[in-house]
Amino acid sequence: MNGLGVLLLKEWREMVRSFKLLWIPLVFIFFGILEPITNYYLPEIMKTVGNLPEGAEFTWPELQGKDIFVSLSGQYQFIGILMIVLAFMGTIAGERKSGTATLLYVRPLSFTSYFFSKWLVINAVLVASVWLGFSANWYYVHILYDAVEPKQALAFIMTYSLWIVFATTTVLMFSAWLPTGGTAFAGIFLLVFYPFIDTTIGAYWKVSPWKLPTYASDWFDPTLDRSHLWMSGGVTLLLIVLFIVFGIWMSKRNAAKTTV
C-alpha cells in the first residue's frame, strides 16, 4: 500500500489540529459521566425543582450498576452516532469538493492506502473515545451504584466498539460514494433512524448489525443464548469488509469528480 505511513501522518495531524482528538473523546466522556450522576441524583433534583403538589410521590425503579452502564449506549446511539455522521461526512466527499484531494489524486497514490489511512485514524479516535466514555461511566457507576463486573463490561464495550466501527465505515463508504449532503442524509437515516425501525419491525429477524448495541447488553446475563449476537457480529464484520472494498473502489471511481 503506497504511502500508507505518510497518509496516516496526514490524517493524524488533521485530527490533532482540528481538535477532533480533543473534543470527540470529551463528548463521549461527558455523557459517560453524566448518565450515572443524572440517574443517581434525579430523585433529589425532582424533589428540589419538581414543584410537585404536596403528598405526590414518584416511585423510582431500583437501578443496578449494569443498568446505568448499558443505558449509556442509548445516549451514544443518538448523540454519538449523529456526531460521527456530522464530523466525518465530508472526509472524502469534502476533500473532492474543495479540491484539496486534487493534489493527492495526481500522484501515484494507492486508493487503498488513501481510504485505509482515514478509516484507521477515525476508528482509532472513536473507539478510544467510546472506551474512555464507558470507562468514565464504569468508574462513576462503581462509586454511586454497585460495581459492574469488569469482564462483562469489557465484552459489552468490545461489542459496542464493533458497532461504532460499522458506523464509521458506513459513513466513510458513503463519503467516498456520495457528495457531503448525500452522505449526511444516508448516514443519519441508516445509523440514527433505521435502528428505531429495526427495533420496531425487526422482530422478524434476529441477525442484524443494527441489533448489536442491544445484543451487547446480553453479556450481563450469562444465561442468555448468544448465538444471535455472534451471528450479528459476523455479519457486521462481513459488511465492514464489503463497505471498505466498496469505499476504496468508489474513492478511485469518483477521483475524476475532484475540483480542478
Q: Applying CB under 8 A, which residues contact another protein?
A: 2-3, 5-7, 9-10, 13-14, 17-18, 98-100, 102-109, 255-256, 258-260
Shortest separation between residue 19's beta carbon and another protein, angstroms? 10
3-state secondary structure of 192: helix
3-state secondary structure of 223: coil
Shortest separation between residue 89's beta carbon and another protein, angstroms? 18
The residue among 161 and 258 lying less far from another protein, judged by its C-beta, is 258
The residue among 105 and 116 lying less far from another protein, judged by its C-beta, is 105
Q: Which H/E stretch holds residue 119?
A: helix 111-144
Shortest separation between residue 113's beta carbon and another protein, angstroms? 9
Shortest separation between residue 101's beta carbon and another protein, angstroms? 9
CB atoms under 10 Å from CB of 39, counted, come to: 19
Amino acid type, 107: R
Q: What b/e readout covers 73-89, taking b as 16+ CB neighbours within 10 angstroms?
A: bebbbeebbebbbebbb
Shortest separation between residue 46's beta carbon and another protein, angstroms? 46
Q: At what angle do helices 150-177 and 65-75 cross, to 10 degrees?
A: 10
The residue among 7 and 176 lying less far from another protein, judged by its C-beta, is 7
Residue with cell 437501578: 63
The residue among 6 and 147 lying less far from another protein, judged by its C-beta, is 6
Cα end-to-end span (Å), the chain: 25
Cβ pair 113, 238 in contact under 8 A: no
The residue among 38 and 100 lying less far from another protein, judged by its C-beta, is 100
